[in-house]
Amino acid sequence: MSYLFSSHYRAILFRRLWISLAKGEKKLGLPITESQIRAMQNCLEEIDFHKITEYEKELHHDVMAHIHAFGDLCPLAKPIIHLGATSTFVTDNADLIQLKEALTRILKKLHRVILLMTKLVKKHKAHPCVGFTHFQNAQPTTIGKRICLWLQDFLIDAKEWERLISSIPFLGAKGATGTQSSFLLLFNNNSHKIKKLEEFIAKEFGFTHILPISGQTYTRKLDVMILNALSSFAASSHKMATDIRLLAHEGEIMEGFGKSQVGSSAMPYKRNPIYSERICGISRFLMSLPQNTLQTLSTQWLERSLDDSSNKRITIPEAFLAADSILEILTNLLSRLVILPKVSLEHLKKQMPFLVMENILMKSTQKGESRQELHEALRQISQKIKGEKDPLKSLLSQVTSDPRFHLSPKEAKELLSIKSLIGRAPEQAEEFLKTFVKST
């Protein structure tokens, strides 16, 4: 990922774009020779950054510096390098190529994460655990179903990234203010040839769409869309990692721990969920970045202003590096995650007297009593039994002796089955994998 956004890779892209431009122009009749093209191809990888920097110091213009340095390497092609083009022909098309490649790479890693989660769902889909709302004990669910909450968010991200990858357009050859006037001149007012030229180059770089309208640059709205998608993924990751940190507190989940890993320099017994914490910290950074792309689009003036460039050069690579790094940690974390269904089950059993209440409420309401009245009765019972020694026994005796509940002791007992408490959680998890994950 770092290489993808490196100066080296970018310089290569510039040259590949110039070569492609020349090939296209030649094909469409401009006086460019095969040997000029070969001359460029032969020195494609000879990049002398020292020389480029020298030129840039003199010219204060980075693309011109690249043109000069390239021209020095292949004097034969010098007169036709960049022919008809403006700087953004190389900078912005290269940007779009990089964005597409970067998205493709992280999507692959996201699929790996999804696969790891899928396995965890399968394994734990029927393992019951206490559900939590307000981080207070709530109706039981299963561990696998809970993982589906996270998984579903990541599936939405994956779908969104796929959509973006297939919709990123190529800028093409648009000229200084997007009017293609220089190309019209080159091709003697033959519009058709300009389109052919754009299609030729786009195809060489694997693009199927070309942006129909542009100023000097592609609309910075594309950057907005991409950073929005990355930051949405960051939020998914932060949510999952936070949940894992909470469950690590419960002792129901632990991060895989190296044999000689040290938890704290002061407290030798510690096993801290440091990878989940790291994900949170990086995700937070990634979530702050879309403010940049939004503001850059907002304040672009007319056919282009250059206040985009210094911002893009920081925020776009940083966003992808952050996403990539989160994905690496997620993969590592999920491959080694220690899930302890026994601990979850113990916790659930301890909370049984409270968790069973909704079942009682449901059952008794079905027998015709007012839901509100029973809700109130149970609320009062729950306050009473909280401190008691055997709250479950106490609950059952109160409920079965109160005629409003219409519950025989036997019926009451049946409501205690864990299977009935976790509802459709296992089934939901299974169906979800079948219907939604397969298709990804």
| 8 A C-beta contact, residue 20 and residue 9 | no
Burial class (CB in 10 A: 0-12, 13-18, 19+), 58: exposed
CB of 6 to its own copies, least distance (A): 18
Decide if residue 331 touches its own copies (CB under 8 A): no
| Structure letter (DSSP) for residue 44 | T
Name the one range near its own copies by CB under 8 A: 38-46, 93-101, 199-207, 237-245: 237-245
Write down the catalytic residue from 60, 134, 192, 298: 134
| 8 A C-beta contact, residue 276 and residue 237 | no
CB of 162 to its own copies, least distance (A): 13
CB of 285 to its own copies, least distance (A): 5
Decide if residue 31 touches its own copies (CB under 8 A): yes
Report how far residue 230's alpha carbon sits from residue 100's, in angstroms, rounded to the nearest whole number. Answer: 13
Bridge partners, residue 129, by sequence: 141
Decide if residue 327 touches its own copies (CB under 8 A): no
305 is catalytic: no
CB of 12 to its own copies, least distance (A): 19
Closer residue to its own copies, CB minimum distance, 20 or 91:
91
Helices (H), 79-220: 87-124, 143-167, 181-186, 191-204
Assigned token pair, 108: 């692959």
Which of 179, 335, 397, 401 binds its own copies (CB under 8 A)? It is 179
Report how far residue 220's alpha carbon sits from residue 107's, in angstroms, rounded to the nearest whole number. Answer: 22
Assigned token pair, 276: 């989940």
Query: What is the dihedral sign for C-alpha 74, 78, 84, 86?
Result: positive
Closer residue to its own copies, CB minimum distance, 24 or 84:
84
Interface positions, 355-384, toward its own copies (CB under 8 A)? 357-359, 361-363, 365-366, 368-372, 375-376, 378-379, 381-383
61 is catalytic: no
Q: Work out the widest C-alpha separation in the chain, in whole angstroms.
A: 100
Closer residue to its own copies, CB minimum distance, 3 or 435:
435
- Length of the chain in terms of residues written: 440
Decide if residue 115 touches its own copies (CB under 8 A): no
| 8 A C-beta contact, residue 226 and residue 99 | yes
Decide if residue 212 touches its own copies (CB under 8 A): yes
Q: With the CA atoms of 324, 330, 333 and 334 taken in that order, what torsion angle do they form, in degrees rounded to the nearest 10?
A: -140
Which of 47, 161, 175, 333 binds its own copies (CB under 8 A)? It is 175
Decide if residue 135 touches its own copies (CB under 8 A): yes
Decide if residue 398 touches its own copies (CB under 8 A): no
Interface positions, 66-105, toward its own copies (CB under 8 A)? 67-68, 71, 78-87
Interface positions, 265-324, toward its own copies (CB under 8 A)? 265-274, 277-278, 280-285, 287-292, 294-312, 314-315, 318, 322
Going by C-alpha positions, the residue among 287, 307, 285, 284 that lies closest to residue 296 is 307
CB of 378 to its own copies, least distance (A): 4
CB of 390 to its own copies, least distance (A): 16
Distances (CA, A) of 262 to 244, 259, 274, 280, 337: 20, 9, 11, 21, 17
Name the one range near its own copies by CB under 8 A: 8-16, 60-68, 202-210, 401-409: 60-68
Beta strands 136-142 and 253-254, pairing class: unpaired
Write down the catalytic residue from 7, 35, 167, 264: 264
The number of residues that bind its own copies (CB under 8 A) is: 166
* Residues involved in catalysis: 134, 264
